[in-house]
A and B are shown apart, each in its own frame.
Chain A
Amino acid sequence: MVSSIWTERYRPIKFSEIVGQDNSVKRVEALTNSLNIPHMLFAGPAGTGKSTLALIVVKELYKENWKENYLELNASDERGINVVREKVKNFARTKSLGNIPFKIIFLDEADALTPEAQQALRRTMENYSATCRFIMSCNYSSKIIDPIQSRCALFKFKLLEKKDVEQVIYKIAEAEKLTINPAAVEILYEGCEGDCRRCINILQSTASISPSITAELVATIISNTKPRDIKVVLDYALSGDFQKAKEKLLDMMLRESISGQDVIKAIQKEIWNLPIEPTMKVKLTEKTGEIEFRIVEGSDPFIQLQSLLASFVLAGLGKE
């Protein structure tokens, strides 16, 4: 059945259809053709084709039996390493179907696992290496511990360039009978930040309103997806109304389920549009960097962000 979700409908099914990753794709294709693949680590930003490539490998190897020989896990969704191990164990217990002597486990977002969990995973990889191959994906290979990296062939994925994104957009536009002008493509490319999945989703979202895709319409859809109210929050803080700023922040984060990290990213960008002295911009950026670090480290985002807002209140008073 053809999916109505475009990210699925237009997901590449052949190696040659993946755009922008020639180098990695060629090497993986060669390995797949040899019918014997090593453990692999796909590193690169979101929406650049990591899961897609894994799926192609699996379908090439097992043809119609691929579902039986393939397990997909997402490290950021599974509750702890024990669940991952349990699922791997159950899956790896039975032999593979067909003439390939191993099954494939795709562990998406492996860098969401803590170093300790990765150590445990490494044991699991060793225990089942006779019957299973692991393909792991991550955003940054540096977040994967060395022992795992050394067991895997590393493939790097890069952000899609404009020509790659354009190719995808025009292909879909033609198939879906959309009219789209270069200005709209430009905005779509800027808005998706090299992430193909996001690009297609924005395109489908726009097309669900009208089949003639204009730059304005795309811009509306994109602006709906950004933490819009951050400026309002900062304006309250700068005007000295801490309480309002705080309420608005909490409300925004809860209502739209925006993570602390997304909020701080938006604040960091917004600082440059604020009507404050250059020295103040730098000071606030220093503070913002420190707060982002703390949040990444696992501090409570609400408390940390409130302390940042309090600094903005001071900046508004013209003090430090």
Chain B
Amino acid sequence: MPWVEKYRPRKFSEIKGQDEAVLKIKDFLKNFGKKKKAMLLHGPPGTGKTSLAHVAAKENKFEIFELNASDLRNREKLRTILKPAIQQKSLQNDNKLILVDEVDGISEYDYGGVGELLEIIEGTTYPIIITANDIWDKKFNLLRKKCEVLQLKEIGYDIIKSVISEISKIERIEINDDFTTELAIKAKGDLRAAINDLQTLSKIKDYLSIILDERNKETDIFNSLRKVFKEKPTNETLGVFDSVKMSIDDIILWVEENIPAEYSGKELARAYDLLSKTDVFRGRIYKQQYWRFLVYENIFLSYGIASVKKDAKTGFTTYKKPTRILQIWMNNQRTVYKKSICEKYSAYVHVSKKRAMNEFPVIKQILKANPLIQKELKLEDEEIEYLRL
């Protein structure tokens, strides 16, 4: 089970970092009927919009009735499903809460969808909660007027950090404080992303030992980068990376990550120009097996990139560890199902896996909508689940 589900809040008290929003939503439900009939919850991804709606329903013992943007596209479907739901009182339960999730999924071609939603708000006898990331598009002008608008803030990094620490305790992951901090900062206010990252990383057993190992190498590379980025080049600059115990490919990644931290404008462009030429020579070495090209790789990467600045730079800069490889790796973990689906699909319809991956957005919609195809391709439950995400 994905941890984001496992640790989804069940009570108001479990919702972290959104105290004000919790009060407002309680108030909205308590006074329903007196004011506007719908509440528009908006805010960046992973701030708890959907969770908030579900908890609100649960705490008030409301039955929840959920729609998403693709349902709104289809008027027929809406009429048949939703209208009776709005009008009839449900048998077991007196009260319902209608949740329209991710309304900004309505595309610019679906004005009809927004219109439908406005009609529903007009006619409802039950409270409606609508969630969205961005509501400032003009297509939502009317909707904003019809709803009470409640903005959710990005979740503070300290709160994210405490949630991650808590989960790692329950899941028995040994994780040090620096690393939790790093994860929390990287999440940029998106709690869901942070929990997902934690779960992904927990699968690599010795991830933490890898990190510690890297720490030792870092002092060397920091010093070398400082020389390249801060000082005017001298002949010594040519050997600046010699003492670093990393492959030149890794050093390229470090330089790539940190150029924007020091250079801007013209210097930035020239530095990247040289870095891209370094990369061109790297490719030529592999292709031709002509190792003398290493000379050019090395000169551009050290002296070349040092030479682009007009004046020596002062001040202290914290250089960042290259994140790209880790990001690629984590992304691959997230897309394993996409790959396995494409594998099954491509074998079946005589195309390459690569092509299936390229056309996945179209294919996904086809597979998602048709259980017969899912059966035909023998998709596993996890794969079908992935399609729904």
Contact = CB atoms under 8 A, between A and B. Distances in A.
Q: A and B bound?
A: yes
B359 interface: yes
23 contacts: A4-B373, A5-B376, A8-B348, A74-B352, A77-B354, A108-B350, A108-B352, A198-B362, A201-B362, A201-B363, A205-B366, A220-B109, A220-B110, A224-B107, A254-B327, A257-B338, A297-B283, A300-B282, A302-B324, A307-B276, A310-B269, A311-B273, A313-B264
B147 interface: no
A148 B328 CA distance: 37
Secondary structure at chain B's binding surface: helix, strand, loop or mixed?
helix
Nearest to A210: B74
Interface residues of B, number: 55
Interface stretch (A28-36, A161-169, A242-250, A270-278): A242-250
B376 A4 contact: yes
A225 interface: yes
B249 to A, nearest CB: 9
B351 interface: yes
B353 A77 contact: yes
B324 A5 contact: no
Contacts of B252: 303
Interface in B326-364: 327-328, 331, 335, 338, 346, 348-355, 357-363
B361 A225 contact: yes
Task: Assign chain A's interface to a size class.
Answer: 35 or more
Given A77-B352, A202-B362, A217-B109, 14 more contacts: A3-B376, A5-B348, A5-B376, A8-B348, A74-B351, A108-B350, A209-B73, A250-B324, A250-B327, A303-B252, A307-B276, A310-B268, A313-B268, A319-B265
Contacts of B279: 294, 299-300, 303-304
A60 interface: no
A51 interface: yes
A314 interface: yes
Interface in B256-283: 256, 260, 264-266, 268-269, 271-273, 275-276, 279-280, 282-283
Contacts of A235: none
Nearest to A255: B331
A221 B369 CA distance: 14
Contact of A307 (B109, B275, B283): B275
A4 B353 CA distance: 20
Contacts of B109: 216-217, 219-220
B275 A303 contact: yes
B91 interface: no
A255 B361 CA distance: 12
Given A217-B109, A307-B273, A197 B351 contact: yes
A131 B140 CA distance: 67
A145 B70 CA distance: 49
Contacts of B338: 257
B282 to A, nearest CB: 8
Interface string B165-206: 000000000000000000000000000000000000000000
Interface string A166-183: 000000000000000000
Contacts of B350: 51, 55, 72, 108
A223 to B, nearest CB: 8
Contacts of A259: 358
Contacts of A130: none
Contact of B265 (A217, A220, A309, A314): A314
